[in-house]
A and B are shown apart, each in its own frame.
Chain A
Amino acid sequence: QVHLVQSGAEVKKPGASVKVSCKASGHTFSYYDINWVRQATGQGLQWMGWMNPNSGNTGYAQKFQGRVTMTRNVSIATSYMELSSLTPDDTAVYYCARRGSRGMDVWGQGTTVIVSS
């Protein structure tokens, strides 16, 4: 069975960075792009970007350009999303999702990130 398991909740101060992990199991890690999506409380789903685990190529939403970095460690089938220069507006639940030909068909459980002084 295919799973994406994310790292635990984080509390950060404004200006800090956060790095969220997403470990894949049950499928060939390099075959599927990993996307990151966030949802702030009371807000809609916001796509942040994608990463190809095979090549390491990435594409980021304009809103996050310069602040987000998506990487991977193929040996442990894990993707990472790092967001820097955090503000309270970055308080949200962050999700990773596998993107296949059917779209984003498998999702992680979500990681809550709280940014507060």
Chain B
Amino acid sequence: VMTQSPDSLAVSLGERATINCKSSQSVLYSSDNKNYLAWFQKKPGQPPKLLIYWATTRESGVPDRFSGSGSGTDFTLTISSLQPEDVAVYYCQQYYSPIYSFGQGTKLEIK
């Protein structure tokens, strides 16, 4: 089970946004020392977009204001300087076990 916090968040343009994700089980795979945790951005009418994989690696083309941190069971997505196009719902997902569950989502808005 993946649990995100908060459920919604309002941040001023140019300010930092932080979203947390907690897994009920460790997603750290011992054989390669990688955390099988991804972050997605979801906008209406579009498929989810992969932002971060292995908990900390930015997908190609994703702006460097997006960063991921954490290990084991606790993870964070940080947007360092919020831009208007970042308004979306953000989801974490573990892809460690064969049950690839998502968090419930965090809705990010402009304050």
Contact = CB atoms under 8 A, between A and B. Distances in A.
A105 B50 contact: yes
Given A103-B95, A105-B53, A44 B47 contact: no
Given A95-B48, A109-B47, A102 B59 contact: yes
Contacts of A104: 38, 40, 48, 50, 93, 95, 100
A99 B48 contact: no
Interface residues of A, number: 21
Given A102-B59, A103-B95, A104-B95, A45 B48 contact: yes
B104 interface: yes
Interface in B73-111: 89, 91, 93, 95, 98-105
A61 interface: yes
B99 A59 contact: yes
A44 B48 contact: no
B95 A99 contact: yes
B42 A45 contact: yes
A61 B89 CA distance: 23
B66 interface: no
B77 to A, nearest CB: 14
Contacts of A105: 50, 53, 59
Interface of B: 36, 38, 40, 42, 47-50, 53-54, 57, 59, 89, 91, 93, 95, 98-105
Given A37-B102, A45-B93, A105-B59, 5 more contacts: A39-B42, A44-B91, A45-B42, A102-B53, A107-B47
24 contacts: A35-B100, A44-B89, A44-B103, A45-B48, A45-B91, A45-B93, A45-B105, A47-B93, A47-B102, A50-B100, A59-B98, A95-B47, A95-B48, A97-B48, A99-B95, A102-B38, A102-B50, A102-B54, A102-B57, A102-B59, A103-B36, A104-B50, A104-B95, A105-B59
Q: Which 10 pairs of residues, A with B, have the shortest CB-CB distance?
A: A107-B47, A103-B38, A102-B53, A44-B105, A45-B102, A59-B98, A103-B53, A103-B95, A47-B100, A105-B50
